[in-house]
């Protein structure tokens, strides 16, 4: 379904202008993760942490200009790597910290958005955009315990852009509202219906113009992700499980190249 929607958006965009300009960007990513789960009283149950070198990947971006100040962005990001797990076994009374191990994480994020700048001859411009996306996060805690979080999201962003000679710097704040988020776990037939899965993202991208066909880019991004407790799932009608509240503080460093046509 998502492929059909992306195709329709790009087809509509191609009919709006006779002359177009496009950009292709590839960025290499290092991700720092700080994830924590809590019980109903706010006591931490387990956590995952990684450094920028532990989880890494790549992002591909395509930008289609409708005119000088309006464009469509299509992005696909994928990162993977190990984080340090600290927690406890399920139904154990030993408590947080009694188990330490490694978790292999795979995160994929896809987005499509319409963005625009205000018409201005000044160096400072205001930005805004609206779009939707898809989030995939798989936690492989062991070969027998794999958790998969998935959701679509409505996304809106606002910010500002400043240009000085060949350098462009931006500040962008984005809110992602999760739609029907779920989590599935190995050995449990039913999916967990999460109450919510929302993200606030702050990005600080920089671009340097090398020539008319090439830019260099780097970006720092911070994400605050909050997932709220799921409904109760019964495994075989006997054991009851709940996916608890969680918070994640993710940071990304991106370095890339932009090809302009």
For residue 190, is pLDDT > 60? yes
Query: How confident is the model over 233-251, as pLDDT tens digits?
Result: 987 767 889 999 999 999 9
Calculate what percentage of the chain has a pLDDT beyond 90: 79
- What pLDDT, on the 0 to 100 scale, is given for residue 18? 41
More confident of the two residues 62 and 187: 62
Give the pTM: 0.89
Q: Is the pLDDT of residue 17 over 50?
A: no
Average pLDDT over residues 188-196: 94
- Dihedral sign (CA 75, 172, 134, 53): positive
- What does the pLDDT read at residue 237? 66
Mean pLDDT of 20-41: 95
| Least confident span in 162-171, 201-210, 233-242 | 233-242
- The pLDDT value recorded for residue 93 is 77
CATH topology of domain 2-34+47-82+100-260: Lipocalin (2.40.128)
Q: For 55-102, what is each residue's pLDDT tens digit?
A: 999 999 999 999 988 999 999 999 999 999 999 887 777 889 899 999
Q: What is the mean pLDDT of the chain?
A: 91
Q: Is the pLDDT of residue 120 over 90?
A: no
């Amino acid at each position: 379904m998502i492929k059909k929607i992306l195709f329709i958006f790009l087809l509509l965009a191609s009919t709006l202008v006779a002359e177009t300009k496009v950009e292709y960007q590839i960025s290499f990513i290092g991700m720092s993760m700080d994830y924590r789960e809590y019980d109903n009283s706010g006591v931490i149950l387990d956590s995952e942490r990684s450094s920028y070198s532990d989880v890494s990947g790549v992002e591909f971006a395509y930008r289609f200009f409708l005119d000088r100040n309006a464009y469509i962005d299509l992005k696909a990001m994928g990162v993977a790597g190990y984080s340090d797990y600290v927690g406890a076994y399920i139904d154990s009374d030993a408590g947080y910290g009694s188990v330490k191990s490694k978790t292999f994480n795979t995160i994929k994020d896809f987005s499509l958005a319409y963005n625009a700048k205000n018409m201005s001859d000044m160096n400072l411009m205001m930005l805004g955009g609206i779009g939707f996306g898809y989030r995939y996060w798989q936690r492989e805690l062991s070969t027998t315990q794999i958790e998969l979080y998935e959701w679509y999201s409505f996304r809106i962003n606002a910010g500002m852009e400043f240009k000085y000679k060949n350098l462009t710097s931006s500040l962008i704040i984005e809110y992602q509202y999760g739609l029907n988020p779920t989590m599935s776990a190995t050995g449990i037939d039913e999916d967990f219906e999460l109450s919510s899965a929302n993200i606030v993202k702050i990005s600080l991208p920089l671009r340097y113009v090398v020539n008319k066909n090439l830019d260099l880019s780097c970006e720092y991004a911070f994400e605050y992700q909050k997932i709220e407790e799921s409904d109760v799932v019964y495994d075989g009608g006997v054991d009851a499980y709940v996916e608890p509240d969680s918070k994640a503080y993710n940071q990304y460093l991106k370095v890339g190249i932009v090809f302009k046509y």
